[in-house]
A and B are shown apart, each in its own frame.
Chain A
């Protein structure tokens, strides 16, 4: 393998660094990296890995670009809204560096296809956004003996490390199990500083390039924590757990398992999920019926259990704001005999609030189906979605 005259010019600033040089640039060109996820972390990763001249970059994604992605997923542009992320990302990467081969795997990574997809690559970069896929990527990497460059983000905080490098600690050594769904409030807790995935994704890109070049000290056996608000990096020791079910001494996992079951979450439905699929179930009320109740002047209490900062974005003026976290201790503000309707953004948190009220003996509690998003769709289009 050699570099063309054009490539020598393109990679000039690598070639004149002694630690990279011609030998290193050829290592990058020979490397095959799989990038799982073309979202927040995948955006900077895809661009910089392509720019760096990684020979083959595989992309795994089956999502579609939407407007809420543009605040951070800088590989996708406004014109790409509605396109498949994989096409949008591959186009930008190819335009940035035509010398790079981009392989598109437009699938949801699963126990059925993961081994086959991963085995063609030297190294895997985890830029996914959910627990089932993270455990799947981890297990497949451990079983195949491939390093897994990990990054994860939440609001203003990020974590990064390299798992399964030369028999080193894996994701299950760090966290044997995922949190059960709904315990850590995800709906209320969503959101991320748009720049954060850039910072963490580029830490992953840095580790990827270092591992390929074989230079420096890899982020192995260390969990890097980044706090954007305090602008602090901290490092914690990450040890191999002798009891780890997949990389420990007494392994109980020897092949891929059902990760949705393991994480207790329903299967991710690819592409456009049917929107008006379900009927109103017991304890639910349609937004249109709530509107009718308001118009008729029915005597009932409408409660919004979102957070105050969400209430500022949009609200139904008749609703009383009691954030979910405060519902339990503010029950005395409510009449257990009253007709109560609860709403949140999409119906998840309000369902939990309904449960709290019912457990406390409230008799007439209903969940407004689809939350304020459904209200915006079906009742008042002037209400912005977020």
Chain B
């Protein structure tokens, strides 16, 4: 089964696991299995129409699936999928005083 690497911001939705192995013969099937197993993750990576959100990129090994076959890209057992969300941080988060 292909392995999916979960980045830090999304680990709270996968019971803190940094990688998850789920079945699927295509990227779409793997992501469907992943969000079935971890339903809280669904809203994070798919929009209301069930399409991948534009600030979460999915890579099959080192290639962006947008430039492969998107959801239909075949995924083999030896493949690794990475979810790579956009992060803005350069330094701080919430600060005392509430100033951002």
Taking beta carbons and an 8 Å cutoff, which residues of A are in contact with B? 37, 39-42, 66, 68-69, 72-73, 126-131, 134, 151-157, 159, 174-179, 183-187, 189-192, 197, 223, 225, 230, 234-239, 241, 268-269, 272-273, 275, 325, 345-348, 370, 373, 385-386
Contacts and interface: CB of A to CB of B under 8 A. Distances in A.
Q: Which of B57, B85, B87 has the largest count of A CB atoms less than 10 A from its CB?
A: B87
Interface of B: 7-9, 12-13, 18, 40, 43-44, 53-55, 57, 59, 62-64, 66-67, 82, 84-100
Contacts of A189: 9, 12, 93
B38 to A, nearest CB: 12
A236 B89 contact: no
30 contacts: A66-B96, A68-B95, A127-B90, A128-B88, A128-B90, A129-B91, A153-B89, A153-B90, A154-B9, A154-B89, A157-B7, A157-B87, A159-B87, A174-B86, A175-B57, A176-B54, A177-B55, A178-B86, A179-B85, A179-B86, A184-B9, A184-B85, A186-B93, A189-B9, A189-B93, A230-B18, A236-B59, A236-B62, A237-B67, A348-B94
Summarize A's interface: helix, strand, loop or mixed.
loop
A66 B91 contact: no
A129 B92 contact: yes
Contacts of B99: 269, 272-273
B67 A42 contact: no
Contact of A68 (B40, B82, B86, B96): B96
A30 to B, nearest CB: 27
B96 A386 contact: yes
Contact of A192 (B59, B66, B91): B91
Given A37-B90, A175-B86, A184 B62 contact: no
A131 B57 CA distance: 16
